[in-house]
A and B are shown apart, each in its own frame.
Chain A
Amino acid sequence: MKRYLGRKLAIYALTFFLAVTIDWMIPRFMPGNPVQTMLSRVSLRAEAVDALRGYYTRAFGLDVPVWQQYLNFWRAVFQGDLGVSIYLFPKRVSSILMEAVPYSIALLLPAILLSWLAGNKFGAFAARRKWLDNTLLPVGYLLTATPYMWLGVLLAWAFGIVLDVFPIAGAYSFQMSPHLSWAFIKDLLWHWFLPFASLFLVMFGGWAIGMRNMIIYELEADYSKYLESLGAPARLIRKYAFRNAMLPQITGLALQLGVIAVGAIVTEIVFSYPGIGHLLMQAIQNQDYFLIQGCFLFIIMGVLLANFAVDILYIIVDPRTRRGMVGES
């Protein structure tokens, strides 16, 4: 287990190191001058220009050598100092991001977990059941092939505009202010439902299809054939097949995390849901480079943490990893 976990942690550490390095490199070595662009964006406010120019000379520090700029960037990252936003001046990038994180998590965590559980159950149930299988196959593939943003737009149009039962923008009604009351929580859930549903549906299709394919492979495996020849009931064989098929599905969950994160970004954009994705779009449109960098860093950290959580799950589910029988990946 130690070896397995150690290997994983080494990969995550290396990934984090590379991601921060890229995050630092891109504004510095890409064509164009982000500092000038940023300064020209706030040219209307004199006090902002002064404060920012001072900040930029320190942050991009042309007076210190490149290696020192790099070390300074690392120190800033560890201190949680991601600079000041231009678009929401003079708020700090880190505090803006912290406000957005709960919304992204509230959307992603239930969508990932529920779609994974429901998709696996349904996929396992549908496999090798003639008409259900033949329905699941095209529908499931169509769902996974659907761009996240398009399903979002479609749901917003159908339930928000045509049927007019759900709101299509924001996290709560704009005449309300965040406070703890039943009315507010109900309003929050009401706004949460459509973006959640569109994320859920796209992922559900993927998990159901994945499970269906795995079950069919497992039912053809030697141990299934052996059980069958012993006269074991089909339900028992399916149960074993399901357990074996779970492992690749857990690995699949880890592999999909990056795609899911980006799916959440575009879903938030469609519904103007105030999470990291919506923030990233605002940052890109306003060329707020510190905010873009911060969003990227947060997305990376989120994906790494989620990957780690999946690893723990894998260790719990698969005893071989605990006894060091699976050294590989």
Chain B
Amino acid sequence: MAGPTKEKGPKNEFLYFAFRNWKLRLGLFVTVSFLVVALVGPFITKFDPWGYVGRPAEPPSATHWFGTTFFGQDVFSQFVHGLGPLFLVGALGGALATLIGTAIGFTAGYRGGAVDEVLNMLTNVVLVIPTLALLLLIAAYLKVRSFLMEAVFIGCTAWPWTARAVRAQTLSLRTREFVDLARISGMKPGKIVVTEIAPNMLSYLVMVFILQFGGAILNAATLDFIGLGPTTGISLGLMMNYAVMWGALPLKIWWWFIPPGLAIALIVGALYITNVGLDEVFNPKLREK
């Protein structure tokens, strides 16, 4: 057992500033609240999301909290069942994009030379391609699509800006003295990246993941809205697709299209604000004066 340390560890300092920061608190609160709804919701609602359980186009009431759709399906039930896949696709797609982006960024930045040239070219090309349009093209030809596939597709196309940023940071860290020291003491390049360079960028990588998380949610919602999302299951984007296609606007069924879009905007917005908060916690220069 280690004895009590005299100086305050960096962790304590981090937590101190983290709890003082209203952006971080607000962002985390909203995100976690929705996560709880996603986890608990499906057990609260007694309706099948696709079942015709009420009268058509019924406004919100005690039985149907968010009202019913044009077909008499329970909107609240669809909503809570759609939240789970949203977090799943966001986390998975975001994690994959962060992973690919950092791997390519580290390799390009640390190895340099021809490897860097090739990877940089690849990054720039994928950066220019409107990747979501590419996903549309691919999805249009697939007869069966799953949430996992959607997440993998999004992850495999959203990495370029991360690779670029990580490469730039690696380039500047590579020439630092502590990295030189590790190199002349015979450490292998892979180990240098993992034990010397990556820890110095950890805070940045956390923020990258949060941004990718939000981006993946938005991309998935767009695909679902166009009708090229997963062929089974429900998602918030798909709810909006049905609402628009079946005339929720002219029929004034506002309770059908407001909840899904609002939830996406709130969750992604909260993630972004969490990110600003984290940035301020990690970087004292940015703190409010």
Contact = CB atoms under 8 A, between A and B. Distances in A.
Interface stretch (A7-15, A111-119, A176-184): A7-15
A270 interface: yes
A186 B193 CA distance: 61
Interface stretch (B63-71, B98-106, B179-187, B264-272): B264-272
Interface stretch (A47-55, A135-143, A229-237, A238-246): A135-143
B105 to A, nearest CB: 13
Contacts of A258: 128-133
8 contacts: A147-B218, A147-B261, A147-B264, A148-B222, A150-B261, A266-B225, A269-B226, A329-B120
A259 interface: yes
Contacts of A216: 286
Given A147-B264, A296-B136, A284 B227 contact: yes
A138 B268 CA distance: 11
Interface of B: 23, 26, 120-121, 124-125, 127-134, 136-138, 140-143, 161, 164, 214, 218, 221-222, 225-228, 237, 240, 243-244, 249-250, 252, 254, 257-258, 260-262, 264-269, 271-273, 276, 285-286, 289
Interface residues of A, number: 62
Interface of A: 11-12, 14-15, 18-19, 22-23, 26-27, 30-32, 34, 128, 137-138, 141-142, 144-151, 153-154, 156-157, 160-161, 168, 213, 216-217, 220, 255, 257-259, 261-262, 265-266, 269-270, 280-281, 284-285, 289, 292-293, 296, 299-300, 303-304, 307, 329
Contacts of A217: 286
Contacts of A296: 133-134, 136-137
B67 to A, nearest CB: 15
Contact of B125 (A14, A160, A280): A14
A138 B250 CA distance: 31
Interface of B (DSSP majority class): helix
A168 B250 CA distance: 9
B272 to A, nearest CB: 4
A303 B243 contact: no
Contacts of A148: 222
A262 B121 contact: no
A150 B131 CA distance: 21
Given A22-B137, A32-B141, A150 B265 contact: yes
Contacts of B136: 262, 265, 280, 284, 296
A18 B128 CA distance: 11
* Among A128, A145, A154: residue with most chain B CB under 10 A: A145
B125 A15 contact: yes
B143 A31 contact: yes
Contacts of B120: 329
* Among B26, B244, B267: residue with most chain A CB under 10 A: B244
A146 B164 CA distance: 26
Contacts of B121: 11, 14
A19 B259 CA distance: 37
Nearest 4 A-B pairs (CB), nearest first?
Answer: A150-B261, A258-B130, A145-B268, A145-B269
A141 B128 CA distance: 24
A30 B141 contact: yes
A128 B272 CA distance: 19
Contacts of A261: 130, 133
A284 B268 contact: no
A299 B128 contact: no
Contacts of B260: 150
Given A31-B143, A257-B130, A284-B140, A150 B286 contact: no
A129 to B, nearest CB: 12
A292 B137 contact: yes
A329 B124 contact: yes
B226 A32 contact: no
Nearest to B160: A255
Contacts of A142: 265-266, 269
Contacts of A270: 244
B269 A141 contact: yes
Contact of A26 (B127, B137, B161): B137
A303 B129 CA distance: 8
